[in-house]
Structure 1
Amino acid sequence: MRKTKQINVKRTLALARAFHFLYSCAKSCLLPFLTLYFRDLGLAPEMVGIIMGTKHIISLLWQPLSSLLAKMYNKRRAVIHGSVVCSAAVALVLLLFPPADLQTHNICNDSNLRSTPSPREPQLKVSTDPASWLTIPFPANKTDVAEDRTSQLPVGRTNNTEEPKNKNLVRKKKHKREAEEGQLDFLSSLKVMDVQHQLFFLVLITVSIWELMAAPLEWTADDSLHDYLDFADASDRYSSTGVWPLLGAASGVGGAGFLVSRLNCSILGGTSRTAVHFFCYAGVSALALPIAAFLPLYLNKQQSKVNRPLKAIQLVRGSQRAVLCAVTALLMGATRSNVDNFLLWQMRDHHSTELHMGVSLSLALLSQAAFPLLAARLTRLLGSGRVLALGAAALGLQCLYYSFLWGPWAVLPAQLFSCFSCGAFWWAVKVHSDDIATPGTERSIKRLYNVLSLDFGSALGSFAGGFVVRWCGLDWLFRGAAVVLILWCVCLPLLQWNAPRQYRINYSRLLAADAIEASDSESEEERDWLDKAMEDDGSKNRNYGKTLKP
């Protein structure tokens, strides 16, 4: 007889919290500083935006698909282990690429701390115009040259009867030659491309592979934890792990910034300061790997086959307030991606070091984690709709503040507003999700908002933000994002006021009410039956006494 394993909910939650803490710590050692490393390599802002936008698009498409495949084939543990190892290994490949401009780029120097408004163009280049890559002239053969010269001869020197035939023949050969040269131009353009664009395509391919390796981990681990707790009838404790990724991220970004700021060129041996973040990412990921081996996994094979993501989309689309929340999530994600991509560029231009960057980002994450302490009072005071507008307005004010930085530590006051920007926004999203959710769709609705904000919105913001920085500069990027969010915050309360509010149905109260009504009806039926029986028995006794009377 097979022995049943004992379920230990406390141990499961402890392992899940430790794993999410360490993995979030590992990601935060590198991801906030990744675009800064791309800038050190010599990539232009629009190139960085395309790379980060592609990263978010891959996450948008691959996360749900990989999680579904891991569940179908019962390979969740293998996916988690493979994702941790392969993502750390692929990330280190980025260190193998040399800078675009070897003559002017100093990889370990205090000059990196000075203002560098934009990366310089590489000196070793053929052409900076992308249109010229497909129009490179190739030498023609002698026959074609002779035919071209023949076609250019005066009419008097050629036979008038053979002239149309020769022109058609020359035209056909010319079209054939142009088609062959077009194919050669496309292949040869990769070789004659300037150094900066070659580096861009190499980094884009590597980051795409990296995201393919890293994207499946979070959803797979999250689904495994929820299914296990649901099997143990402890799904109400699933949300208790939510604050640990924020604490891990704050520890990772602050610790990595402090460590890198303490290193000097003699210790690094000529390596870039920003490259140290890659080694921190790989090292902390290795610490999370043993904990992943002990994560309890449970595959619920009897789970309902209802397509919950489609159901979540239908529920959000059927509520006007939920649609407004979705639009807000999209705008917040686009704005937040620009902050994540280019805030450190703005700080470096104002002489900030990795220490300033790490402390400021860590303060923002800790401030966001502290919002649940204020959530109850703000919700009673403002309501969930106004809390949503408060989150968008706070992020807009943060962006406006970022455009007027003046020193290394000037960013710190704005980071405290993360409590009311990201913290208030995600709390309002949770409330809106609970209002429209039906049993079994709560997590699907929250994931839908996460995908809209963190993946789709971030992709759009990254693509657009890079070109805005190239055309207008960092200051106007943040000012434009601030204007868009503040205008939306003015319109949002008006649109919410016209939208009907949907209240969540408390199914436990309905069941309790049905039970009370059923018990009352049963007691009334029993009372009626007993009274009727007593009346019938009394009438029989009275009749029996009358018959026996002499």
Structure 2
Amino acid sequence: MKRTKQIDIRRALALAGAFNFLCSCARACLLPFLTLYFRQLGLSPAMTGVVMGTKHLVSLVWSPVANLLSKHYDKRRVVINGSLVCSAAAALVLLLVLPTDARPQAASCNVSDPRGGPTQSLGEDLLGSSVAPSARTHTSTAPVSQSGVTSTTKTLSDTKTALHHNHNHSRPQLPPLNASVVVNNSAGEPEVGGSFMQHPTTSSAAPVRSKRSKFSSGSEEQLGERKTEEEENERRFDFLGSLKAMDPQHWLFFLTLIIVSAWECASAPLEWTADDGLYEYLDSADASDRYCSTGVWGLLGAACGVGGAGLLVSRLSCFVAGGVSRSAVHFYCYAALAAATLPVAAYLPLYLNKKRCRANGLLKAVRLVRGSPRALLCAITALLAGVAGSAVDNFLLWQMQDHGSNELHMGMSLAVAQVSQAAFPLLAGRFSKLPSSGQVLVVAAASLGLQCFYYSFLWGPWAAAPAQVLSCFSGGALWWAVRVQCEDVAPPGAERSVRRVYVALSLQLGNGLGSFAGGFVAQRFGLTWLFRGAAVGLMAWCACLPLLQWRVPRRRRINYSRLLAADLSEASDSESDQERDWLEKAMDDDRSSNNNYGRRMNH
């Protein structure tokens, strides 16, 4: 007979915690600093917002599809290992194909690193000795916009204009390609402007003209056909011609967009696939209630990753070994930690429960959220929090850099936010009575609005750190209220599916839409008004949310054990005194008969 395999719950939880810690640490080493790297490459705020918004929307669509396919073909471990390897490779590819615009990196490095040399000397070394002094002056005195973003595109265009100007002075001017040339044999020099004609000195000029006229008259139809073919070819290759006419910044934008989309396709299936496999493994051992303990390790890993990466990069010079920019260290840390996660992923406990259908579970969760008014209000709050949070995730480091912060200040500030967010569930567990989930939602949205309003008034390198403590109430309180709302609206066993709906609305759809809108707002009005606009929107929703919650009737979840206890108590109260006396008399008679029977047996 086949023996059942023993399941070690502690070992499974330890491996799951280590896996979540390493994965979160790897992502935190790079993703918070990714938009800062895009800025150093020369992308505008609108371009950065489009790239990040596309990244979130790709994750929104591809994560459930890849999870369903990995479960259908029972390839969860292959998907997890492949996701780790391919995401690390895609990050390194992004680093390898974009070092052509190294000049903005040098300028930004000097802003964030006070130990670096002057910007002008680094720019001159990278531009080379062929740049004219006027071009160097343009490079060192780049104008700054209202948002604090260095106008790298204008600097590069000025440099190219100066180079072209000096180049034109050093070489003679040539005629355009479509110009006609007249050859005069007597002068011996070509003249521009006439038809292509040779002035002969012999008497053979008339036959030549007659032959030429016959040839031109006989080939009019062929020329007409050639013109139509040329017009068709021009229409066909008009798009390719427009691509060739694009400036280097747009080429850089499209190349970055393609690589980031491929990177997200590789990394998106990791979280859902490992999450489902672990939960089903614990559920098979009747230990699914201990699954929530692994989520804290992810927040701690994110705090260690973002703080450690910021500390490490801040201690480096502008260029490390081999002339590589120090911003590339974020990518190398991400790849190294992804490789370190592979041994843990090889022993990660996974289980396949074919009876569970995640596609039907997600559809049922969407119907549950749509059918409950309070759940809908919670979903709208999560969506708005994601829209406003995208401004913080994408452009907070830009705002901090404009006020003198380097990677050390950025990393430590973000680490404080992660630790404070992980502290709210611990604080909530120590209090026996907490406000309702609706009131906590209002507090969470108001705290995020205060954070955004505070970020618009930064004044120094460490100015953003005190506001990160409010993440305990913005992020931590928000997801605590979401968890309570999931328990209220979902039947037993469907809480995770409902929570995934809220995660998709906030962290994927909300962040995606907020990235698109936030990039264009930052481009048009500046970073300061971006944060103020997000704060005003959240505060307006906080004013409307309590009124909407008061108007919506509260539907309580039925607890069958309490209902059964209440029925028994009501039945006992409705009994008459005569029935109680009859029951007590029967019990006394039974006791007396048992006692008499025991006495006879002893005798």
Q: 2:536 aligns with which of 483, 492, 497?
A: 483
Matched, 1:452 2:505: yes
Residue in 1 that maps onto 2:474: 421
Residue in 1 that maps onto 2:40: 40
Distance 1:246 1:182 in 2: 54
Cα deviation for residue 20 of structure 1 reads 0.2
3-state SS in 2 of match to 1:307 = helix
Question: Which structure 2 residue ranges, 5 or more long, are not aligned?
Answer: 115-143, 162-176, 180-222, 573-578, 590-603
Residue in 2 that maps onto 1:545: none
Residue in 2 that maps onto 1:317: 370
Residue in 1 that maps onto 2:404: 351
Residue in 2 that maps onto 1:120: 152
3-state SS in 1 of match to 2:491 = coil
Cα deviation for residue 490 of structure 1 reads 0.5
Distance 1:75 1:515 in 2: 51
Cα deviation for residue 94 of structure 1 reads 1.2
For the Cα contact (< 8 Å) 2:68–2:358, is it kept in 1? no
Matched, 1:329 2:390: no
Distance 1:171 1:415 in 2: 72
Cα deviation for residue 242 of structure 1 reads 1.5
Distance 1:87 1:9 in 2: 30
Q: 1:285 aligns with which of 313, 338, 343?
A: 338
Distance 1:105 1:82 in 2: 32
Deviations 1:208-260 (A, max 9, x none): 11000000000000000110011001111111111110000000000000011
Residue in 2 that maps onto 1:338: 391
Cα deviation for residue 302 of structure 1 reads 3.2
How do residues 49-448 of structure 1 correspond to structure 2 at under 5 angstroms?
Answer: 49-98=49-98, 101=101, 106=106, 109-113=109-113, 117-121=149-153, 122-123=156-157, 180-265=233-318, 267-303=320-356, 307-375=360-428, 380-448=433-501
Deviates more, 1:99-108 or 1:10-19: 99-108
TM-score normalized with structure 2 length: 0.75
Deviations 1:435-494 (A, max 9, x none): 111122211110000000000000000001111111000000000000000010000000
Deviations 1:60-84 (A, max 9, x none): 0000111111111000000000001
* Cα distance change of structure 1 residues 68 and 266 upon mapping to structure 2, 3 Å threshold: closer
For the Cα contact (< 8 Å) 1:92–1:278, is it kept in 2? yes
1:314 counterpart letter in structure 2: R
For the Cα contact (< 8 Å) 2:319–2:325, is it kept in 1? no
* Cα distance change of structure 1 residues 510 and 255 upon mapping to structure 2, 3 Å threshold: same
Distance 1:388 1:283 in 2: 38
* Cα distance change of structure 1 residues 72 and 187 upon mapping to structure 2, 3 Å threshold: same
Distance 1:411 1:473 in 2: 18
Deviations 1:99-141 (A, max 9, x none): 5645565278424558852341133889xxxxxxxxxxx989x
Residue in 1 that maps onto 2:31: 31
For the Cα contact (< 8 Å) 2:310–2:407, is it kept in 1? yes
For the Cα contact (< 8 Å) 2:62–2:269, is it kept in 1? yes
Residue in 2 that maps onto 1:17: 17
TM-score normalized with structure 1 length: 0.82
For the Cα contact (< 8 Å) 2:455–2:464, is it kept in 1? yes
Deviations 1:288-308 (A, max 9, x none): 110000011111123368811
Deviations 1:180-200 (A, max 9, x none): 423211012222211001011
3-state SS in 2 of match to 1:300 = coil
Distance 1:270 1:401 in 2: 38
2:380 counterpart letter in structure 1: V
Distance 2:371 2:225 in 1: 60
Distance 2:377 2:494 in 1: 19
Distance 2:334 2:353 in 1: 33
Distance 1:453 1:97 in 2: 32
For the Cα contact (< 8 Å) 2:420–2:470, is it kept in 1? yes
Cα deviation for residue 347 of structure 1 reads 0.5
Cα deviation for residue 382 of structure 1 reads 2.9
2:263 counterpart letter in structure 1: W
Matched, 1:467 2:520: yes
Cα deviation for residue 507 of structure 1 reads 4.1
Distance 2:327 2:546 in 1: 43
3-state SS in 1 of match to 2:21 = helix
Distance 1:508 1:178 in 2: 80
1:310 counterpart letter in structure 2: L
Deviations 1:23-69 (A, max 9, x none): 10010000000000011111111111000000000000000111111
Distance 1:231 1:36 in 2: 44
3-state SS in 2 of match to 1:27 = helix
Identity of aligned residues (%): 62
Distance 2:529 2:262 in 1: 33
* Cα distance change of structure 1 residues 52 and 175 upon mapping to structure 2, 3 Å threshold: farther
* Cα distance change of structure 1 residues 306 and 323 upon mapping to structure 2, 3 Å threshold: same
- Give the superposed CA RMSD: 3.1
Cα deviation for residue 367 of structure 1 reads 0.5
* Cα distance change of structure 1 residues 43 and 19 upon mapping to structure 2, 3 Å threshold: same
Cα deviation for residue 97 of structure 1 reads 2.8
Distance 2:231 2:342 in 1: 56
For the Cα contact (< 8 Å) 2:320–2:326, is it kept in 1? no
3-state SS in 1 of match to 2:433 = helix
Cα deviation for residue 510 of structure 1 reads 5.0
Deviations 1:131-177 (A, max 9, x none): xxxxxxx989xxxxxxxxxxxxxxxxxxxxxxxxxxxxx99998876
3-state SS in 1 of match to 2:554 = coil
* Cα distance change of structure 1 residues 440 and 515 upon mapping to structure 2, 3 Å threshold: farther
Cα deviation for residue 271 of structure 1 reads 1.9
Distance 1:262 1:476 in 2: 33
3-state SS in 1 of match to 2:149 = coil
* Cα distance change of structure 1 residues 213 and 105 upon mapping to structure 2, 3 Å threshold: closer
2:427 counterpart letter in structure 1: L
